[in-house]
Amino acid sequence: MEVAVIKYNAGNVQSVLYAMERLGANATLTDDWETIQKADKVIFPGQGEASTAMKYLKERKLDQLIKSLEQPFFGICLGLQLLCEFSEEYDTQCLGIFPIQVKKFPPLDKVPHIGWNNLQNLQSPLLAGLDDSAYVYYVHSYYAAVDPAFTIATSHYIEDFSALLQRDNYYAMQAHPEKSSLAGEKILTNFLNL
């Protein structure tokens, strides 16, 4: 299986590449249109800052490419946030796959949200084999609001937020599955099996 991991200078890609290798997938880090279009699956990883990442995507017209893809697509952490419509982080217009606002957790002394937290309200084949006892690893200061049309799992930190989103072939997760032990491995395996 060929997996394209989108390169957009958003960090944390090596752990995703290692996770794909452990699961037997051939993953390539790339910003090449043709490689991404031909891949069986696409992963949009990242940690970093929204406006800088969007600038990189737009300069290479990857923003247009991402919105045109039809194979299973998985945004992780910053990848989830950039798939939303707008981020409060430097007032950034994002990709708009999910018509959801990304907001900063209040109050400031409680962010970032770092550590293990469980998933709740699971409702997708991406989460098959997991339940509310599944814990995943978070590092984030911004969150996507819960939207019943697109939220396929929630977590709670200060308030409920979208732990995972889905719209058509687009899936996204705020936590880092590649750092989330057996639960994260199960989610990545389910994604590869979609």
For 152-175, the pLDDT digits (tens) are: 999 999 999 999 999 999 999 999
| 77 has catalytic annotation | yes
Determine if the pTM surpasses 0.85.
yes
Return the pLDDT at 47: 83
Residue 35 reports pLDDT greater than 80: yes
CB 103 within 8 A of CB 141: no
**Could you say which of 49, 77, 85, 185 is catalytic?**
77
Return the pLDDT at 46: 86
CA distances from 111 to 81, 104, 138, 141, 160 (A): 16, 9, 11, 5, 15
| 159 has catalytic annotation | no
Return the pLDDT at 48: 87
Residue 131 reports pLDDT greater than 90: yes
Average pLDDT over residues 78-86: 98
**Could you say which of 113, 156, 176, 185 is catalytic?**
176
| 59 has catalytic annotation | no
